[in-house]
């Protein structure tokens, strides 16, 4: 299977920075610059594994970057899987696409599919020719679901709190549609969304009030990364990003589930994405299973040791069950 958009022109990849000092990833990680069809530079990070059962394509969430998933790559390696990820356009060390580089922005949500294509085009030169699997978190879940509809060549998929809808009080939803939909008329396309900040979340929110994890050490891990490498960080989204996200999640909700075996994790204390959309999607997903995790916030891969072990054990079992042949 191949995606429907054109692959970027093949160019020789150049080495990119990888902040192994804060990633805690497996030994031997490499980072490369790759180019998209529309001329942006993204950073790909690959944690190889000799004799791997397959390679996990790890699609990160909004504001995120490769190093944040170094420990996840180590957990996957311990279970026999290599990991490859990338910094989406507008975040991490990828080219920023907003006038203010501190803000999360995208011109069209479909542009992220060009990033997916650039990632896929780079795999052969990395020696990745075995089975592929998808593991996608939050915004990466929306990108991943769209990519599955466009033929992403994976044997199975897993999602963590996928952004198949954005959580907000009911009365605010029509207001959000109105404000973001008219932002271009008001010259506010790249204005930060009300209620968010340009500073990265883990630096201004206390552990006690955070909506990401119950685990103090994992929150400190994220905070150390933000303090040591501020060039990786972004803050809140622009009005344009929010409008594009609302449109994409609405359109995805109207589509049938793809014919790919799927496992989705959802914390019982989720407060960022729309839980109803996840329940609705998984209720109609052939070969799909929803794993609801008690006392977990948004980032189940960043929760305490017991939850993390459960998540990665379940992912590995799911992927192994769908190895080709």
Sequential pLDDT tens for the chain (325 residues): 333 334 444 445 699 999 999 999 999 999 999 999 999 999 999 999 999 999 999 999 999 999 999 999 999 999 999 999 999 999 999 999 999 999 999 999 999 999 999 999 999 999 998 899 999 999 999 999 999 999 999 999 999 999 999 998 888 888 888 888 888 887 889 999 999 999 999 999 999 999 999 999 999 999 999 999 999 999 999 999 999 999 999 999 999 999 999 999 999 999 999 999 999 999 999 999 999 999 999 999 999 999 999 999 999 999 999 999 8
Residue matched to tokens 């610059």: 33
Q: What integer pLDDT is reported at residue 6 of this predicted model?
A: 43
Instruction: Give the pLDDT confidence score for residue 252 in this predicted structure.
Output: 98
Residue 263: partners with Cβ closer than 8 Å, 6 or more residues away: 156, 157, 158, 159, 288, 289, 291, 314, 315, 318
Domains, in order of start, for the chain: 14-320 (3.40.50.1820)
The helix/strand/coil state of 54 is strand
Alpha carbon distance 28, 47 (integer Å): 6
Q: What is the per-residue burial (b if ≥16 Cβ within 10 Å, else e) of 112-141? A: bbbbbbbbbbbbeebebeebbbbbbbbbbb
Q: Are strands 30-35 and 41-47 parallel, antiparallel or unpaired?
A: antiparallel
Question: Residue 116 phi/psi, 5° resolution?
Answer: -60, -45
Separation CA 311–CA 167 (nearest Å): 23
Residue 12 has what pLDDT? 55
CB 66 within 8 A of CB 86: yes
Q: How confident is the model at residue 7, as a pLDDT?
A: 41
């Amino acid at each position: 299977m191949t995606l429907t958009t054109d692959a970027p022109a093949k160019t020789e990849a150049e080495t990119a920075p990888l902040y192994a000092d804060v990633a805690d990833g497996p030994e031997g990680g490499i980072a490369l610059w790759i180019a998209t069809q529309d001329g942006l530079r993204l950073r790909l990070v690959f944690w190889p594994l000799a004799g791997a059962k397959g390679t996990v394509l790890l699609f990160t969430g909004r504001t995120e970057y490769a190093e944040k998933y170094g420990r996840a790559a180590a957990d996957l390696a311990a279970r026999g899987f290599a990991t490859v990820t990338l910094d989406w356009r507008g975040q991490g060390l990828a080219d920023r696409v907003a006038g203010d580089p501190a803000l999360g922005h995208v011109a069209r949500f479909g542009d992220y599919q060009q990033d997916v294509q650039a990632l896929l085009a780079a795999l052969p030169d990395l020696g990745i020719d075995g089975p592929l699997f998808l593991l996608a978190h939050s915004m990466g879940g929306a990108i991943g679901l769209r990519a599955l509809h466009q033929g992403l060549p994976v044997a199975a998929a897993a999602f963590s709190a996928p952004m198949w809808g954005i959580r907000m009080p009911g009365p605010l939803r029509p207001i959000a549609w109105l404000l973001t939909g008219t932002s271009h008329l008001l010259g506010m396309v790249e204005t930060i969304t009300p209620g968010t900040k340009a500073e990265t979340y883990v630096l201004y929110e206390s552990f006690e009030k955070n909506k990401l994890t119950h685990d103090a050490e994992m929150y400190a891990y994220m905070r150390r990364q933000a303090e040591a490498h501020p060039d990786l960080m972004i803050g809140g989204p622009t009005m344009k990003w929010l409008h594009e996200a609302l449109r994409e999640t609405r359109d995805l909700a109207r589509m049938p589930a793809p014919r790919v075996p799927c496992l989705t994790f959802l914390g019982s204390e989720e407060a960022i994405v729309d839980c109803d959309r996840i329940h609705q999607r998984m209720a109609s997903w052939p070969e799909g299973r929803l794993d609801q995790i008690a006392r977990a916030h948004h980032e189940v891969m960043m929760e305490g040791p017991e939850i993390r072990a459960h998540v990665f054990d379940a992912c590995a079992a799911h992927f192994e069950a769908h190895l080709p042949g």
